[in-house]
Amino acid sequence: MIKRVKNFWHCIWPMIRQLSGDDAYERYLKHFLDHHVESGASETTAPLLSREEFFRQWQDGKWKGVKRCC
Amino acid sequence: MNENLKIIIWLAVGLLGTIALSTIALNRGESINALWLITAAVCIYAIAYRFYAAWIATKVLVIDETRATPAERLDNGRDFIPTNKWVVFGHHFAAIAGPGPLVGPTLAAQFGYLPGTLWILIGAVLGGAVQDMVTLFFSIRRDGRSLGQMARDEIGVIGGTAALVGTFMIMIILIAVLGLVVVNAMKHSPWATSTVAATIPIAMFIGLYMRSIRPGRVLEASAIGVVLLLLSVLAGGWVDHNETLRALFDHEGLPLAYAIIVYGFAAAVLPVWLLLAPRDYLSTYMKLGTVVALAIAIVMMRPEIHMPALTQFTDGTGPIFGGKLFPFVFITIACGAISGFHALISSGTTPKLLGNERDIRMIGYGAMLLESFVAIMAMIAATVLEPGVFFAINSPSGVVGKEAIDAVAKINSWGFAVTVEQMNQLAKDMGESSLFARTGGAPSLAVGMASIFGNAFGKSLLALWYHFAIMFEAIFILTTLDAGTRVGRFMLQDMLGNFIKKLGETSYMPSVIITSALVVAGWGYFLYIGVIDPNGGVNILWPLFGIANQMLAAIALCVSTGILVKSGKLRYAWVTGLPLAWLVTITSTAAWQKIFSDDIRVGFFAAANDLSSKLANGVLPADKAAVAPQLIFNQHLDAYLTMFFVTVLWVVIIDMLAVCIYCLKDKPVLPLSEVPYRATQLDDSWVRD
């Protein structure tokens, strides 16, 4: 029983984190490493952002359009 | 699974749904169990999702699993990003479900439980969910473009501009009416006012926490925030019992309205991270938590519905808002059945996250069904109240009289039993001084929720449950208010930027202040008029909002119908064409009646003329005479606004029909703006599980 709860938790926890944006920085890091490092970072690639700076841009960007409804 | 078994199961679901639906439709007894409504809803949703939505997906839209979505093609790790479908579902649902599905059904309950319930079910299955899903699909095929852009690309400049202007106007009316709901809930209620006030510093603290103290730790911050919010409900009770503090938070409607206007301006000018973003997180958790708790409580308690199936107010004499069942029940319940606002979400954030087209049905259609279910629960929470109590809470003092004894006598004369002692006891249980004339839906919903929760989780805590429900509604009404003001500001800056370039810069401070002030002045005006209106204001503002929202839905369906015809799918065009025709019928009829009706409770001009002649003859009491000129001006303004909405709607429809006819006659039309096919490279097992 405890094991099943544990399994369920392991399945649901990443989803909760993703839903809330808690893991946004980690996902950004992964994306950055996948897309910019492997292909050889060129001059045009933006530098890697710190957690604080990333979060700042991420949050400001989220609120540019219609986000909430009636 | 065995094919035959599947058929048997679906037949059983169909049969159960039919039984439940006929029970709620034919019941004329004293009361009916709420579980019948839940059963009917779940069966109808299941069948519609399994068959109708699947048919639309495969036959009408021809969804292609092998096609790369914008999230994959334009993946930038931020706004375009392939995301787990349950996460997208969560985002999408949180974005579409606001206070609308809670307020609309509560107001429409004045007709009885049946009309609203049927419209919520049928409207969602054939209209709202189809609109959301089809718009999402077309936006995904167009790099996640917005409704306005799609209207411009596919129909023409007129359609695009109409969508933009329509959105802006709805935003103004919506914010005003929601502000009014909060004001009516906080009026002379120190507990509610102090709790709602406390949510502001709490949100700011969480904003600071996420920004500077522990950057990006969203869940941690949210958990702290939720605990603080719950504490603020408790603290409100303490304020209520403290004589000196009590006086600080005990206010008339007008000062509260001014406070909300000042707050709205501050929220639009302050940076998002400080107030808007953290408030949004908190309201989302509160919303999801409360909706789940309400569902559990309803299933556990199986409450009886005491409202009759139909009341005598179907003839248009209802106390909460005037107007006959047709078309006004369809205008009053917009969100929950069909809401044009959803088309903005379906063509905004969501299409940029979806990893595979086959999830369009679940996100577009499924999330709307869930929202519709929330509306059904709101209907249940409103109708489990004794009808006399329901009308005592919701009837404005201009209709039933200011004194409790008059109000009770009037409501009794309609045939609904209620006594002054009963209302006093109820107010005492809920920790309020009075519950009369709290028009707007929030308080009656809170009483309904408190009684359901109270029965399920402990009756001694009624006052706490009531104020929890008020806080929960207020917090996401204020979120809509913040977000709406900001969106309105961006739109206005965008429009003004065409004339004066500098004003179009979103970070140029003078422009921010001017445009925010203009947007706030827009809704602030309607809020002010709503508060000084002795008939409650909701009777004017809510139908106006309904008409505007349904108009936006009609524009979205116009765009979809146009695209279907242009893609050579004329024989399937009824899928969006039918709900479109219905929406056009109800909005046009409602608008016609609001403008030309002789009934002073329906027609804007009739009301204005009636008030003018009363003012001229000097028959108005002094307090009413003082505000009469403003009310007369407002009635005229509302009439012209309604005319404007209908004109915009018909212009878009004629534009769309012209495009369709041109297309069918093989004359040149704007080309389809669908992006070319590219096969998906995504191993999507990780995003879809």
ipTM: 0.84
Provide the token pair at A47: 């530098």
CB B356 within 8 A of CB B380: no
CA distances (Å), origin B340, targets B128, B155, B171, B274, B329: 8, 18, 12, 30, 16
Question: Which has more pLDDT, B648 or A60?
Answer: B648
pLDDT at A43 over 50: no
Question: Which has more pLDDT, B73 or B456?
Answer: B73
pLDDT at A69 over 80: no
What pLDDT is recorded for position B341?
Answer: 86
Q: Which residues of chain B have a CB within 8 Å of the CB of A60?
A: 271-273
pLDDT at B190 over 90: yes
Highest mean pLDDT among B66-80, B165-179, B236-250: B236-250
Q: Which residues of chain B have a CB within 8 Å of the CB of A48?
A: none
B536 Ramachandran zone, left/alpha/beta (phi>0; psi -120 to 50): left
Q: Which of A53, A64, A70 to mutate to test the interface with B (most CBs of B within 10 A)?
A: A70
Selection from B320, B288, B370 nearest residue B103 by Cα:
B320
Give me the domains of chain B, ranges plus CATH numbers: 29-188+251-675 (1.20.1740.10)
State the smallest CA–CA distance between residue A68 and chain B in angstroms: 5
CB contact under 8 A, A18 and B84: yes
pLDDT category at B689 given cuts 50, 70, 90 is very low
pLDDT at A68 over 90: no
B252 Ramachandran zone, left/alpha/beta (phi>0; psi -120 to 50): beta
pLDDT tens-place string over residues B22-42: 999 998 777 899 999 999 999
The pTM of the whole model exceeds 0.80: yes
- Closest chain A residue by Cα to residue B222: A20
What pLDDT is recorded for position B684?
Answer: 57
pLDDT at B426 over 50: yes
pLDDT tens-place string over residues B529-574: 999 998 878 889 999 999 989 999 999 999 999 999 999 999 999 9
CB contact under 8 A, B90 and A19: yes
Q: Is B339 on the interface with A (CB under 8 A)?
A: yes
Q: Which residues of chain B have a CB within 8 Å of the CB of A29?
A: none
**Helices (H), ranges, B187-275:** 190-208, 218-241, 243-248, 253-269
The residues near A42 (Cβ < 8 Å, ≥ 6 apart) are: none
Question: Which has more pLDDT, B476 or B129?
Answer: B129
pLDDT category at A37 given cuts 50, 70, 90 is low
Question: Which has more pLDDT, B272 or B561?
Answer: B561
Q: Which residues of chain A have a CB within 8 Å of the CB of B178?
A: 70
The residues near B440 (Cβ < 8 Å, ≥ 6 apart) are: B103, B180, B181, B184, B185, B394, B536, B538
Provide the token pair at B336: 């929950």
pLDDT tens-place string over residues B279-312: 888 888 888 888 888 899 899 989 999 999 999 9
| CB atoms inside a 10 Å sphere around CB B31 | 14
What pLDDT is recorded for position B158?
Answer: 86
pLDDT at B169 over 80: yes
- The average pLDDT across B338-344 equals 90
CB B518 within 8 A of CB B512: no
What pLDDT is recorded for position B685?
Answer: 54
Least confident of A47-61, B119-133, B536-550: A47-61
State the smallest CA–CA distance between residue B570 and chain A in angstroms: 31
CB B164 within 8 A of CB B148: yes
Q: Do the strands B304-305 and B32-33 form a parallel or antiparallel pair, or are they unpaired?
A: antiparallel
pLDDT tens-place string over residues B610-628: 999 999 999 998 888 999 9
> Which A positions 28-67 lie with beta carbon below 8 A of chain B?
28, 31-32, 35, 51-52, 54-56, 58-67
